[in-house]
């Protein structure tokens, strides 16, 4: 391991004006390595595409899921088999708020 300093802003943030940090609450993305209390780096300047992990607003609530977009169908998939997919109902709006680019983990200090 080298002694060079790493500037996390340069490494993790491509679009500073469109990037936000958000703490995770819940366990729906555990199989993607995203756990309760992790911090997500979310870039709103990236166009969301199939299989990207996104932050979406569903019925006024924020959620983190993997985006599924195929053959005109859209749904949000959890990375935990105990959570159902979110499929928009008739007239329901799912807003993709941003794309998750990184996940920061913090460990308890001794």
Active site residues per annotation: 28, 65
3-state secondary structure of 16: helix
Please report, for the chain, how many H helices and E strands are present, in that order.
1, 6
Sheet holding 19-23, edge to edge: 19-23, 39-43, 94-104, 53-58, 61-70, 73-77
Helices (H), the chain: 8-12
Q: How far is CA 90 from CA 10, 87, 93, 94, in A?
A: 42, 10, 9, 11
């Amino acid at each position: 391991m080298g002694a060079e300093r790493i500037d996390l802003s340069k490494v993790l943030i491509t679009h500073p004006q469109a990037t936000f940090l958000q703490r995770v609450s819940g366990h729906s993305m555990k199989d993607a390595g995203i756990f309760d209390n992790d911090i997500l780096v979310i870039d709103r300047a990236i166009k969301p595409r199939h299989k990207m992990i996104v932050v979406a607003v569903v019925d006024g609530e924020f959620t983190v899921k993997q985006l599924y977009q195929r053959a005109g169908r859209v749904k949000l998939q959890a990375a935990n088999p105990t959570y159902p997919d979110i499929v928009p109902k008739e007239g329901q709006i799912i807003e993709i708020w941003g794309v998750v680019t990184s996940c920061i983990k913090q460990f308890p200090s001794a």
